Amino acid sequence: MGHPFHLEHATIGHGAKLSSSWQLSHTWPIPALIQTADALPDAAPFAPVADFEQMRSIAGFGAWECDLRDNGLRWTGEVFDLFGLPKEARVHRAEAVAIYDDESREAMELLRAYAIKHRRGFTVDVRLVRPDGQHRWMRLTTSLACEGGRPSRLYGTKQDVTFERARRETLKGTSGTDQLTGLATHTALEARLSQAATSEHQSPGALLVIDVEHIATIRRELGDAAGDACLDTIASRLAHDREDILVVARIDDYRFAVLMGVSSGPRTVEQACRQLVREISRPIYWQGYLLRVAPLVGMARAPESVAFEAELLVSVAVARAEAAKRRGRGIDKKPRTLSLIP
């Protein structure tokens, strides 16, 4: 059986108050992989992709594949550009790995060994030092394929996130932004909502609140640095440039908010929730450990052309996240930590 993911949502209008009549829950199955004593259970396994050619069609990403029989590589042009190598080059894995900085190389190799041993995918941000001396940050997403019951190839995407990381670093601590993550603050989010609420030409659509309080346990067990790394990684995964997302904010110690545009209909919002939960649920690498949290999501939607209070919209979404937490029976709520270093 798969673990259920719970979304609580509500629609509010002018003068609305919290009411049990608003409660409407969705339960979406998220398949769980086989749990073993020395492997983390994946809360949201990677969707299978048939072949390398399909990966090429994902806009804004470079696709890659590594044949585990001989470590042969296949890259799209975007990956060559990211590594600073000519597209006609014949790249061997050892040459590609040498472009990672030392810390990133260690992280990637530990995760690669884990993925092959336990047949799990992973996501990690790594730093490259290109032959021309330029540094790039890359988001490496990896899945694994098997043939005859044995791992045969690794494949996935490589995305340049250098600008995204630099932008968040620049914003950290500035007015209206969170010092740790570089995302908007609670106050800045409500200000944006208030502007939309009084405008005749725009509406905030839906507000998602994502609860990741399990990071508090990781903080107690491994220290503040581990907790901060989890929060920063989640912020990075949420901070994609997407047309349907207007604002991403950190609104509490262990809560994030995502403001969707008015064009995001119910189906789009549900799809966005699925994607966001997959992004956040993937284990986080930190100093030789894999850390996993189980997010819970609440949603509040304001109908178009109806006035509403920004503070109330946030309160409703938070209440729905709390309701999802209470109703989340069957979800493995404990954070998991796993050392990758023998």
pLDDT for the residue 294 = 82
DSSP class of 41: P
Could you report the per-residue pLDDT of 262-279, keeping only the tens digit for each? 666 677 777 777 887 888
The DSSP symbol for 66 reads E
Q: Residue 88 and residue 125: Cα distance in Å, rounded?
A: 26
- Tell me the average pLDDT of the chain: 78
pLDDT-derived band at 157 (thresholds 50, 70, 90) equals very high
Is residue 22 very low, low, confident or very high in pLDDT (cuts 50, 70, 90)? very low
Tell me what percent of the residues of the chain surpass a pLDDT of 70. Answer: 73
The answer, yes or no, to whether residue 91 has pLDDT greater than 90, is: yes
For residue 332, what pLDDT band results from cuts at 50, 70 and 90? low
* pLDDT tens digit sequence for 96-115: 999 999 999 999 999 999 99
Question: Which pLDDT belongs to residue 269?
Answer: 75
Percent of the chain with pLDDT over 90: 42
SS3 label, residue 168 = helix
pLDDT score, position 56? 52
* Nearest Cα to Cα of residue 14 among 318, 303, 316, 265: 303
pLDDT bracket for residue 160 (50, 70, 90): very high
Alpha-carbon span 124 to 59, nearest angstrom: 19
- Tell me, what's the pLDDT at 214? 84
pLDDT at position 275 is: 80
pLDDT for the residue 248: 92
The amino acid sitting at 249 is A
Look-up: residue for tokens 């941000």? Answer: 125
Distance from the first to the final alpha carbon of the chain: 31
> From CA 70, how far away is CA 131, in angstroms rounded?
25
- At residue 86, does pLDDT exceed 90? yes
**Cα 90 to Cα 31, 61, 76, 87, 252, distances in angstroms:** 38, 20, 12, 8, 49
The tens digit of pLDDT for each residue in 203-257 reads: 667 888 999 888 998 999 999 999 999 999 999 998 876 777 888 999 999 999 9
Residues ≥6 apart with Cβ < 8 Å to 278: 44
Q: Evaluate if residue 21 carries a pLDDT over 50.
A: no
Residue ranges and CATH numbers for the domains of the chain are 3-31+178-339 (3.30.70.270), 52-160 (3.30.450.20)
Please state, as a whole number, how many other Cβ atoms lie within 10 Å of the Cβ of residue 319: 18
What pTM does this model have? 0.76
Question: Distance between CA atoms of 107 and 101, rounded to whole angstroms?
Answer: 10
- Asked which of 109-118, 148-157, 314-323 is least confident by mean pLDDT, the reply is 314-323
Over residues 16-40, mean pLDDT: 30
Number of Cβ within 10 Å of residue 89's Cβ equals 11
**CB-based contacts of 229, cutoff 8 Å, min separation 6:** 284, 286, 291
Structure tokens at 15: 């003068």
Average pLDDT, integer, range 172-184: 88
Look at residue 3 and tell me whether its pLDDT is greater than 80.
Answer: no
* Pair of tokens at residue 91: 């790249």
With the CA atoms of 183, 185, 189 and 190 taken in that order, what torsion angle do they form, in degrees rounded to the nearest 10? Answer: 180
Predicted local distance difference test score (pLDDT) of residue 277? 80
The CA-based diameter of the chain, rounded to the nearest angstrom, is: 65
Q: Is the pLDDT of residue 14 over 70?
A: no
Higher-pLDDT residue of 48, 294: 294
Q: Is 327 exposed, middle or buried (0-12, 13-18, 19+ CB in 10 A)?
A: middle
